[in-house]
Structure 1
């Protein structure tokens, strides 16, 4: 780690924060952004995010940040690396905090002539950073992001706060109990929970509770969601299929309006956590170790697969519907904190 400490008087301009490319990871940067805001209450803090993510981050306005679309990934008005760096250069950023470990982000900040560039020394980008930290891969993702702010400022914070989103209020039919369900589709690979087993689990839950299920998913998951919805209707289980029918901002608002959620390890799971919605997380083989991505809210129950299978996509499916139903009943006794 660089021995140089950044003091607030050295930062005489706006601050650029480069976000990760996935929703759950971006949500996990919010505690570090809160630290930045505390250190620099009068500075403009600009969050550079992929365009698809902006609607979600609009629900983080209470962090007093400004959102910038990363035009390198815009479908319209797309800019290349050098062109976009020239665009950023006009703002005269004093500091950049890179929450994504790609060399492209470090190069972008360098080309934008930002004098202070903070990031982890990975992927060959150390020479591009003014403050390069060594990554501890055992740290939780939130801890990793907070270190990038805390360590270079001489560690003024002893703890971080949990991520939070401020959803917009939406009107939903009045049900005794509303539960969002997100089990993914085939596009989620080893994280996808089988549709037939999902039907069995939700049918079992419906027999012992008065629950209305809201099935969530993106357009690419509509086919799997439709199969789930049709099977539940056949079993006379109350359900509404919203897969592919909401924007990402509306997805946040919908999840926040729920009493509980059942989800695989995913962006929607992190949205539920940031909205303080009690969540039952189905955990199989993920894209990162569960211990470093698990939401830290107390109202989350993690149902980790007991599988001994050597077939990766079967690991999560060794969580039985009966196990899900039992843990869901326990979740009903877990109020919003």
Structure 2
């Protein structure tokens, strides 16, 4: 069978998972410059892929035009683009329907092995004798290897910073300060550092007068909380609700460090080669969701002596009684010290 020349890459959601495809696709495009890539994902994520050479984007409207039987229409759109292989990096019902249809049409396909059994075993171990699982980035890379395109993720080169608009330059100011992003929210409380403790972290960083700190989040409730968080501090700006998504990505690409939970913003920063310090609650770096190229030393974890069952969940949804506050065991001074050391 001849080697594919045009791969359809499917990853529909969520934001962090889609962002994790970006470094892998950069390596793919860099290693195989003659290969054409079409990414199938939600329109919102299109800006992630702008600077990758030889890559096109196919928009999936999975709640409208491409709902149910619309997935077949979407598969035919992809086929009409001349794809001759499919890399399903999602492995959910929607992506399976598209992949199986295209396979039936004679197109070569490969699907991610999410390692569900190993992840289940990691949780079932109740914190005892746990070990690192394959990273999600490597699982993505393995799909391309199945199609005949082995990748060495160590060859990743950091993309240039995005250009700052006058609006962003105005937010940053003229003083030569290091830029820190802080994304204090996560999908579940068990993965979120208490805002009262985050305020202490910000207070310590702010009073040095060496940093410009930007707060990231989304949604009305989060924006209100961030507005309160920024108020007492001279060097802190809440950007939630004030920037377009493209502006937010441009700002993130120019940061010197991102402080994040086990959530999407850490992955956004990592795809631009920005150092990320991640705070972990009931989830654990061993599950394979550490932001790309970030060392183990940048992973700050809750006290596993006090909470020995960690990790209790892969995504932070399940945890035993009294485990929702595990993040309280990460002292603010530890976070400040790590941020200053990395930056």
Fold-level similarity (TM above 0.5)? yes
Corresponding position of 1:179: 180
Deviation at 1:239, TM superposition (A): 1.0
Q: TM-score normalized by structure 1?
A: 0.78
Aligned to 2:303, the other structure's residue is in SS state coil
Residue in structure 2 matched with residue 190 of structure 1 by the alignment: 190
Unpaired runs of 5+ in structure 2?
116-131, 308-320
Match runs of 1:251-330 below 5 Å? 251-286=248-283, 289-297=285-293, 301-307=298-304, 308-309=306-307, 311-330=322-341
Does residue 90 (structure 1) correspond to residue 45 (structure 2)? The answer is no
Structure-to-structure mapping, 1:30-179, within 5 angstroms: 30-34=22-26, 36-37=28-29, 41-58=33-50, 61-73=51-63, 77-79=65-67, 80-112=70-102, 113=105, 115-120=107-112, 138-153=133-148, 156-157=150-151, 160-162=154-156, 164-170=158-164, 171=169, 172-175=172-175, 176-179=177-180
Task: Check the 8 A contact 1:28/1:163 in 2, yes or no.
Answer: no
Tell me the secondary structure at the aligned position of residue 29 of structure 1.
helix
Q: Take 1:242 and 1:323, find their aligned partners in 2: how far apart are those partners? A: 25
- Within 2, Cα distance between the matches of 1:157 and 1:253? 27
Alignment partner of 1:211 is 2:207: no
Aligned to 1:126: none
Q: 1:198 aligns to what SS in structure 2?
A: helix
TM-score by length of 2: 0.76
RMSD (Å), alpha carbons: 2.9
| Partners of 2:29 and 2:218 in 1: CA distance | 33
Q: Which runs of 5+ in 1 are unaligned?
A: 1-5, 124-136, 333-337
Deviation, structure 1 residue 81: 2.2
1:3 equivalent in structure 2 = none
CA distance in 2, matches of 1:121, 1:266: 21
Contact 1:192 1:264 in 2 (8 A): yes
How far did residue 248 of structure 1 move? 2.5
Structure-2 separation of matches of 1:146 and 1:255: 25
Aligned position for 2:229:
228
Over 3 Å counting, the alpha-carbon distance change for 1:238 and 1:157 in structure 2 is closer
Please state how far the C-alpha of 1:34 moved relative to its aligned partner.
4.3
* Equivalent in the alignment of 1:128: none
- Aligned partner of residue 155 in structure 2, secondary structure: coil
3-state SS, counterpart of residue 72 of structure 1: coil
Describe the SS at the equivalent of 2:324. Answer: helix
SS of aligned partner of 1:251 = helix
Task: Kindly provide the CA deviation profile for residues 65-90 of structure 1, in whole angstroms up to 9, marking residues without a partner as x.
Answer: 1111112245xx55522332333333
Structure 1 residue 29, shift from structure 2 partner = 2.3
Q: 1:26 aligns with which of 4, 18, 21?
A: 18
1:144 Cα deviation (Å)?
0.7
Number of equivalences: 300
2:279 & 2:13 partners in 1: Cα distance? 23
| Deviation string, structure 1 residues 186-242 (Cα, Å, up to 9, x no partner) | x44322221111111111223345222111112342122122123xx2xx4421111
Q: Taking structure 1 as reference, are residues 48 and 205 closer, same or farther at Cα in structure 2, changes over 3 Å only?
A: same
